[in-house]
Structure 1
Amino acid sequence: MYTGLLHSHSYMTYLVLLGLLISFISALIGLFGKRIFSDGDRKIALLGLIPAHLQWVIGLILYFVSPRGASNFSGAAMGDSISRLYILEHPLTMVIAVVLITIGYSRAKRMVGTDKGFKSIAIFYGIGLLLILIRIPWVSWPGN
């Protein structure tokens, strides 16, 4: 079970990054194109939201079944940068990123028919994408 969760969490990252990138670029195009945020644009934003939430759920389960997760939490582990990354930095940053992405989507869906929905998606998804990119554990990225 652990190995399957670890692989799905690792490879799901590609879908999360792709979905967020598509949503972010689409929001920037709409924002700078002075378009009105439509229901279709809201659905494009779901390409970033849904994989991010699914990834968060898999990550949450993995945090509690992984030997690198909650079971490794100790003062000594905080002194090791790799252990601290898996125990604290990565999970906390990802929770913040998913919360920001959710806030951006929630705000934007109420702005259908205005030009402000793109701004909400661009800002919140952009910050969420940046947080995800800076806290991916690149040391264990598939292929490394």
Structure 2
Amino acid sequence: MYTGVLSLHSFLRWVILILEIVVIYKSFTGMTGNRPFTAGDKKAGLFLMISAHTQLLVGIYLYLAGPWGMATIQNLGFGEAMKDPVARFYAVEHIFGMLVAIILITLGRGVAKKAIPDAAKHKRSFWLFLVALVIILATIPWPFRAGISRPWI
């Protein structure tokens, strides 16, 4: 079961990255083109937030039930886990970075509900989603990262 959930977690990464690009593009074009904040903009942000929160739930399961995460801290101890770059990445850096990114995505989605001008909605959501994307890209265990790599799918 762990392998299947890990595969789902890996697949959802691509869904989130694609949705991030879509909402950043929509926010950027709305911001620069002085376009109204439409229902499509709200839905794209909503789908991104739902996907990110689903990914969070799957990730929490992996963190608690898998060989990395909580098991690493319990087996090595927190101090030893912090000395090992691979253990530190999976036990602390990955989950912390993704939590921050999901909070930013949720805040970006919340901007759509505010009673502010459409230009301000586009600008705020653009920056929140962009920073979230940068954090996500930095904390994904890409296949080319030595020691912490995961397959593309």
TM-score (norm 2): 0.87
**Counterpart residue number, 2:16:** 16
> Residue 16 of structure 1 aligns to which amino acid in structure 2?
I
**Counterpart residue number, 1:59:** 59
Please tell me whether the aligned partners of residues 23 and 44 of structure 2 are also in contact (alpha carbons under 8 angstroms): yes
Unaligned runs of 5+ in 1: none
Give the Cα separation in 2 of the matches to 1:122 and 1:143: 27
Matched residue count? 144
Give the Cα separation in 1 of the matches to 2:108 and 2:64: 28
1:113-133 alpha-carbon deviations (Å, 9 max, x no partner): 632211121011110010000
| SS of residue paired to 1:11 | helix
**Counterpart residue number, 1:141:** 150
**Counterpart residue number, 2:133:** 129
Give the Cα separation in 1 of the matches to 2:22 and 2:116: 19
1:57-114 alpha-carbon deviations (Å, 9 max, x no partner): 1101110001111011122121110110000000001000000110111122224763
Please tell me whether the aligned partners of residues 45 and 108 of structure 2 are also in contact (alpha carbons under 8 angstroms): no
Give the Cα separation in 2 of the matches to 1:3 and 1:94: 20
Distance 1:143 1:128, change over 3 A: closer
Identical pairs, percent = 35
Give the Cα separation in 2 of the matches to 1:8 and 1:81: 25
When the two chains are superposed, the root-mean-square deviation of aligned CA atoms in Å is 1.7
Please tell me whether the aligned partners of residues 72 and 87 of structure 1 are also in contact (alpha carbons under 8 angstroms): yes
Asked if 1:102 is matched to 2:111, the reply is: no
> Residue 114 of structure 1 aligns to which amino acid in structure 2?
D
**Counterpart residue number, 2:145:** none
Unaligned runs of 5+ in 2: 143-147
Give the Cα separation in 1 of the matches to 2:97 and 2:60: 13
1:84 equivalent among 83, 88, 101? 88
Give the Cα separation in 1 of the matches to 2:108 and 2:90: 26
Give the Cα separation in 2 of the matches to 1:2 and 1:45: 29
TM-score (norm 1): 0.92
